Amino acid sequence: MAVANSVLPKGGGGSPSPGRLASVYSEVQTNRLHHPLPLPSVLEGPFRLLDGPPSSAAGNPDEIAKLFPNMFSQPSAKLVPTGSVPTDLRQGLKIGVVLSGGQAPGGHNVISGIFDYLQERAKRSTLYGFKGGPNSLKFSIGGFDMICSGRDKIETPEQFKQAEETAMKLDLDGLLVIGGDDSNTNACLLAENFRQKNMKTRVIGCPKTIDGDLKCKEVPASFGFDTACKIYSEMIGNVMTDARSTGKYYHFVRLMGRAASHITLECALQTHPNIAIIGEELIGKWAKVNRMDQDDMRHIILYGSCTIQYGPCTIQYWPCRLVPSSMGLLLGLLPSIGLVAAKKQTLKNVTDYITDIICKRAKLGYNYGVILIPEGLIDFIPEVQQLIAELNEILAHDVVDKEGLWKKKLQQQSQLLFEFLPQAIQEQLLLERDPHGNVQVAKIETEKMLISMVETELEKRKSEGAYAGHFKGQSHFFGYEGRCGLPTNFDATYCYALGYAAGALLHSGKTGLISSVGNLSAPVDEWTVGGTALTSLMDVERRHGAANKHFGCFSCDMDKLYWKTNVPPGKFKPVIKKAMVELEGAPFRKFALMQDEWALNNRYISPGPIQFTGPGSNNVNHTLLLELGAQA
């Protein structure tokens, strides 16, 4: 495989050489190099592509059609066996491959898959690896260090122009983008741009993210999720054994996963913690009032789009009121329409929920336990989002004085919340800013925050005679440990099939699709293979020039709900819609049936390390099996 320095001329060249030496591999690594990778039967012989019906979009199809006039409505494709190899699938190709975004176990197997496809099906082909990710357009051994990864995006006219020049310079027939939702959005934009310019370069995406939030019916899983969850579950199981051994610690474990709680839910199903906070549940308890579904309500809380209309909504009256940023709307306005339950989903209530269980366990003689917390917990608590929005606005213009006079600019409820937070978290909110001056939410150590708040609440209850136990909290964050582990047998095989399928799609002249492998609960030879239109996964967000620095109001006209701002409308930005935990889905329903039992009884499971041979080595994660209707 040839290595190209950069998709963009000025990027990637400074990336250090990975420098892997097989001579220093462990026995396990060496063994994994020789792990057999079976293919679905449709990829073992001659095949042809069968197009499906025209596709649409996950949301706002009219806007997606405007943004992708060449890609929109194109059909997805399925590989089916045929008697002979079509003559147009015999010529050599020049293909580029790029690893984009955060690492996930199995990325090298995707590259191995497309490499083997070209070796076997398109002789005299060249595969270019772009070092360092988009700004730079090994078999079963983990990592992305074969060509490294990057988080750069191709979004400005100059960047698109540079990508065009690189593709033409290398005479690329195709480009494979291995990445998550943002990276695959970028892949679709590149496909649209190349098609608009009548370039021959085709672009195919590949679903990668440990977070598990890039999936749909046609793309049932993103690679890396299976491995990461099993790595985290091993560590959680170890912590559980430690907790039971000493009998004196509550372990608060924050798990990587961005806004979605898929990892937390899967690890809970694998290990049975005493408490697992599922962020989507905080919204789901009140989102369906007035026939407003969970996704709609979450969209109001998290994204604050400039114009939102809800035809089915039956709200009769919504008082118009100015608030800083749409992030805080729910806190001040929901009581006006009777969403009383929304007032309960505050940080204080999350603290009380944990504290209640700790008190009940203390009465049973248990002064220890394990609590799982999703990385995106704060995204689901409206009052915290309101506070952050106000802090972003205030700190953009004012200096934090020692006397605390700046706090008077906070709304009363935000001021009370700020004072409620532990001192260390207050300092993080004030001092940890990104280059744009905003609070770095991802760096807030939620696990330490909850330990401090639970400790304070328990002391209060002890003084009131309502708690007689003892509490010691230990904090953990499991994140980067899971991104580059040796891939499970499932991820290794799945990734190899995804890469091989991507080669078939590019060889067949397809562009703007994401490599799709389905029927994953069946034996590998029965897996289905094809490509799904990237535009079918997309929705749009309205973007403004300055985030969290605008004012507006909600108003309601009987059957339509609008968000009005006094700033000029921003442009629609296409995004692949994140797949959140579905409260009506089988994985969450199974968790909901068991969580009360786990809370007061110690039903801990220690899964142990990932197995590559023997019992359990080919097991697939609970989430995927349950979603596919198989037994988990």
Q: Is the pLDDT of residue 552 over 70?
A: no
Long-range contacts from 566-569, C-beta under 8 angstroms, 24+ separation:
569/306, 569/307, 569/542
Averaged pLDDT score across all residues of the chain:
81
CA gap 102, 94 in Å, rounded:
26
Average pLDDT of the segment spanning 271-279: 97
What local confidence, expressed as pLDDT, does residue 494 receive? Answer: 98
Q: pLDDT band for 448, please (50, 70, 90 cuts).
A: very high
Q: Give the residue-averaged pLDDT of 134-141.
A: 46
Are residues 280 and 320 both part of a single domain?
yes
Q: Does any domain span residue 19? A: no
Q: Which band of pLDDT confidence, cut at 50, 70 and 90, is reported for residue 462?
A: very high
DSSP code string of 485-527: SPPPHHHHHHHHHHHHHHHHHHHTT--SEEEEEE-TTS-GGG-
Q: Are 347 and 417 in contact (CB under 8 A)?
A: yes
The answer to whether residues 332 and 439 belong to one domain is yes
Give the pLDDT band of residue 139 (cuts 50, 70, 90). Answer: very low
Residue 519: how many CA atoms within 13 Å on its side-chain side? 13
Same domain, 372 and 240: yes
Task: Check whether 539 is labelled as a binding-site residue.
Answer: no
In the chain, the number of structural domains is 2
What is the structure's pLDDT at 434?
Answer: 67
Q: Inform me whether the pLDDT recorded for 100 exceeds 80.
A: yes
Q: Is residue 29 part of a domain?
A: no
Q: Give the 3-state secondary structure percentages of the chain, helix then strand then coil, rounded to 5.
A: 40, 15, 40
- Sign of the alpha-carbon torsion through 458, 419, 253, 600: positive
Q: Is residue 241 part of a domain?
A: yes
Find the domain containing 162 and state its range: 2-12+41-224+487-538
* pLDDT of res. 6: 40
Q: Which residues contact 562 (CB under 8 A, 6 or more apart)?
A: 307, 308, 309, 554, 555, 556
166 is in an annotated binding site: no
Q: Which of 362, 142, 156, 88 is nearest to 247 (CA)?
A: 362
Residue 211 bears catalytic tag: yes
On whether both 472 and 598 belong to a single domain, the answer is yes
Query: Residue 433 — φ and ψ, nearest 5°?
Result: -115, 150
Domain presence at residue 416: yes
**Is 481 labelled a binding residue?**
yes
- Flag whether 254 is marked binding: no
Same structural domain, 354 and 455: yes
Q: 417-421, 455-459, 557-561 — which is least confidently predicted?
A: 557-561
Per-residue pLDDT at 34: 84
The percentage of residues in the chain with a pLDDT greater than 90, rounded to a whole number, is: 59
Q: What is the mean pLDDT of residues 125-148?
A: 60
Q: Are residues 502 and 357 part of one domain?
A: no
Distance CA 135, CA 149 (A): 9
Number of H helices, E strands in the chain: 19, 19
392 and 254 in one domain?
yes
Report, as an integer, the average pLDDT of 252-281.
96
Q: What pLDDT, on the 0 to 100 scale, is given for residue 596?
A: 96
Q: Which two tokens stand for residue 454?
A: 């639970």
What is the predicted pLDDT for the residue at 320?
Answer: 28
pLDDT at 89: 62
Decide which of 41 and 421 is more confident.
Answer: 41
Secondary structure of residue 219 in the 3-state scheme: coil
- Calpha distance 617→490 (Å, rounded): 9
Q: How confident is the model at residue 430 (pLDDT cuts 50, 70, 90)?
A: confident
Mean pLDDT of 286-305: 43
Six-digit token string for 95 = 């293909």
- Whether 216 is in a domain gets the answer yes
Query: Which tens digit of pLDDT belongs to each residue from 476-534?
Result: 999 999 998 999 999 999 999 999 999 999 999 999 999 999 999 999 999 999 999 99
Selected residue with higher pLDDT from 339 and 564: 564
Cα torsion 404, 405, 408, 412 to 10°: value is: 20
500 marked as part of a ligand binding site: no
Cα–Cα dist 165/331, whole Å: 50
What DSSP character marks residue 15? P
Any known ligand binding at 117? no
Domain-located, residue 544: no
pLDDT at 299 over 90: no
pLDDT of residue 382: 82
How far the first Cα of the chain sits from its last, in Å, is 40
Q: Is 256 annotated as a binding residue?
A: yes
User: Does the pLDDT of residue 470 top 70, yes or no?
Assistant: yes
Quickly state the pLDDT bin for 132 (edges 50, 70, 90).
low
Does residue 354 have a pLDDT over 70?
Answer: yes
Q: Given 211, 213, 226, 539, which residue is catalytic?
A: 211
CA distances, 121 to each of 15, 43, 125, 500, 508 (Å): 32, 10, 9, 10, 11
167-220 pLDDT, tens per residue? Answer: 999 999 999 999 999 999 999 999 999 999 999 999 999 999 999 999 999 999
Q: Per the structure block, which two tokens stand in for 292? A: 């407003």
- Is residue 573 situated within a structural domain? no
Q: Is the pLDDT of residue 9 over 60?
A: no
Please give the backbone phi and psi of residue 340, each rounded to the nearest 5 degrees, phi first. -65, -35
Do 219 and 155 belong together in one domain?
yes
Amino acid identity of 338?
G
574 conformational bin, left if phi > 0, alpha if psi -120 to 50, beta if neither: beta
Identity of the residue numbered 189: L
Q: Residue 461, annotated ligand binder?
A: no
Residues 172 and 75 in one domain: yes
For β-strands 513-518 and 202-207, DSSP reports them as parallel
Residue 362 is predicted with a pLDDT of 98
Quickly list DSSP for 261-279. -HHHHHHHHHH--SEE--H
Instruction: Name all contacts of 14-22 with Cβ < 8 Å and 24+ positions apart.
Output: 15/131, 15/132, 15/136, 15/148, 18/145, 18/146, 18/148, 20/138, 20/145
Q: Tell me if 200 is assigned to a ligand binding site.
A: no
pLDDT of residue 145: 52
Contact (Cβ atoms closer than 8 angstroms) between residue 261 and residue 357? no
Q: Which residues contact 479 (CB under 8 A, 6 or more apart)?
A: 254, 255, 256, 375
Please check if 295 is assigned to a binding site: no
CA distance 32 to 557: 62
Q: Residue 365 annotated as binding? A: no
Contact criterion met (CB below 8 Å) for 237 and 272? no
Distance in angstroms (rounded) separating the CA atoms of residues 354 and 361? 11
* Token reading at 513: 């699709």
- Candidate from 247-261, 369-383, 451-465, 484-498 with smallest mean pLDDT: 369-383
Same domain, 216 and 261: no
Q: What does residue 485 show for φ and ψ, rounded to 5 degrees?
A: -70, 165
Residue 328 pLDDT grade (very low, low, confident, very high; cuts 50, 70, 90): very low
Residue 570 has pLDDT above 60, yes or no: no
Say what percent of the chain tops pLDDT 70: 76
Residues 206 and 231 in one domain: no
For residues 373 and 561, the model is more confident at 373
Are residue 184 and residue 64 in the same domain, yes or no? yes
Q: Is the pLDDT of residue 240 over 70?
A: yes
Residue 547 within any structural domain of the chain: no
CATH of the domain at 67: 3.40.50.450
Greater confidence (236 vs 32) lies with 236
